[in-house]
Amino acid sequence: MTAGITPMSEGLAGTAWNILGQTYVPKHVTPSSMSWHATFPVGTFVPPHIHPTQDEFLYILDGRFDFWLDGVETSATPGDLVRLPMGIPHGIFNKTDSTVKCLFWVSPTRRLYDLFWALHALGPTPNPADVVAVSARHEVDFLPPPEAA
């Protein structure tokens, strides 16, 4: 890593990924950690999943996220820090009528940077089975959908 400033409106090397309808802009990447700015349009989400090899954090900048954290529903608003320890199942949802923005980071980086390139390459409306398979190869495990009651 080189010393410097990554401007607010820019990502590393001009990178911006489309991940499941959200925009992820990488801010730094090293073997020990990675951060990205995320914009979640109305109705977008990341289904429940587990990072078996990483701790994940979100600092909420704008809007309100709803979370499913290890079976418990909760929410976070601007200024809140969300801590997601490795191995804990979680899902992230924008159920509001406005865009949500936050700063994510993980530690260690492991294969997440490569995963985002792979998911971006699947296109704007990927097949869910492809997302699950690609993610599993990059150390992110999606949970099966809940059984209908």
16-141: which CATH topology? Answer: Jelly Rolls (2.60.120)
pLDDT tens string, the chain, 149 residues long: the values are 888 888 888 899 899 999 989 999 999 999 999 999 999 999 999 999 999 999 999 999 999 999 999 999 999 999 999 999 999 999 999 999 999 999 999 999 999 999 999 999 998 889 999 999 999 999 999 998 776 55
What is 38-65 written as a DSSP string?
EEE-TT-EEEEEE-TT-EEEEEEEES-E
Nearest CA-CA partner of 96 in 67, 62, 65: 65
- Sorted by where each begins, the domain ranges of the chain are 16-141
Given a contact cutoff of 8 angstroms between Cβ atoms, the answer to whether 135 and 141 are in contact is yes
The pTM of the full predicted model, rounded to 2 decimals, is 0.92
